[in-house]
Amino acid sequence: MVQVHLGVLCEVENMIKKCTKCGVEKPFSEFYKEKTVKSGLRSSCKDCERLRNKIYREKNKEKVKKHAKEYCKKNKEKLKDTLYKWREENPEKFKTINKRYYEKNKENLNEKTRNYYNKNREACLQQKSEYFQKNKDKIREYNRRYHQNMTAGIYQITNTKTGVVYIGCSTQIPRRWRDHKGHLKKNKHINKSLQKDYNKYGLEELEFEVIKEYPPDTPFEVLEREETKLILEHKTKGTPMYNLSIKISSIDESHLTL
């Protein structure tokens, strides 16, 4: 007679075992393996084991945290190699997990980054400079492609408190909005009226929206003519505006009929 150890039979789908915790009969695949027992399986199912571990972690947060820290310290290189290997095998999953974690902890992570930078400013600048020197061509190529694929178009900034609007155009809409915010925060915006209202109401009362999108390779002259047309239309309707002037070169015959 051929003897087969139950540990081998764990992979057989049609074999079941009763969990001692929840009392439900489940396939062998729903139980963790355990070499120290004759059956080769733990007495409680995976769901019950996970629940037990979760309750333990919640009741012993500091103890678990301390143990994890000590384990990581002792097995730093081993864990690092395992993580790198997993990242290489699961790049998309790693990105998803990182993104989800960042969204949940955005404020704390940004605060930690700011504090670290303030405490180690010189070292951070030195590291950034060294990295740029080593990867100069790669960074420039990345920036070129990134900016090349940005959406072009006409945008509008509306003061939700007063209803005053600003019409603008750019071949790189996201970058242009960052520039606006940067100049306003530094109190150096070229439009004094917009700067004054920003100082009074704050950025949360300035609503930014893209009115019309164009392909990334659209000539700036085309965008400028459309911008001028919209400014003149708003002026004709009596809409209060931050725009105080337009370029004469961007006016054509269609504008003169407004």
Q: Do 6-59 and 151-256 show the same overall fold?
A: no
Question: 235 burial class (0-12, 13-18, 19+ CB within 10 angstroms)?
Answer: middle
Query: Would you place residue 248 in the very low, low, confident or very high pLDDT band (cuts 50, 70, 90)?
Result: low
Q: What is the largest CA-CA distance in the chain?
A: 101
Q: Is the pTM of this model over 0.75?
A: no
Secondary structure (3-state) at 53? helix
Q: How is domain 6-59 classified at the architecture level of CATH?
A: 2-Layer Sandwich (3.30)
Domain boundaries, the chain: 6-59, 62-104, 151-256
Tell me: pLDDT of 258 over 50. Answer: no
Query: Which residues share a beta bridge with 18?
Result: 25
Compute CA 62 distance to the chain's CA centroid, rounded to the nearest angstrom: 30
* Domain over 151-256 is classified CATH 3.40.50.2300: no
pLDDT of amino acid 205: 94
Mean pLDDT for 211-221 is 90
Long-range contacts of 195-203 (CB under 8 A, 24+ apart): 197/159, 197/161, 197/162, 197/164, 201/159, 201/161
- Tokens representing 100? 């989800």
Rounded to the nearest 5 degrees, what angle is found at the Cα of 248, between the Cα atoms of 243 and 253?
110
Say if residues 140 and 146 touch (Cβ distance below 8 Å): no
The per-residue DSSP string of 101-145 comes to HHHHSHHHHHHHHHHHHHHSHHHHHHHHHHHHHHTHHHHHHHHHH
| Lowest mean pLDDT, pick from 3-7, 129-133, 155-159 | 3-7
Dihedral, CA atoms, 246, 249, 251, 253, nearest 10 degrees? 160
pLDDT, mean over the chain: 87
Sign of the CA dihedral with 133 first, then 136, 142, and 143 last: positive
Tell me: pLDDT of 249 over 70. Answer: no
Query: Would you place residue 254 in the very low, low, confident or very high pLDDT band (cuts 50, 70, 90)?
Result: low
**Angstrom distance (rounded) from CA 201 to CA 160:** 10
In 135-202, which ranges are continuous DSSP H helix?
A: 136-148, 173-185, 192-201
DSSP 242: S
**Angstrom distance (rounded) from CA 9 to CA 11:** 5
pLDDT of amino acid 105: 92
Mean pLDDT for 131-136 is 90
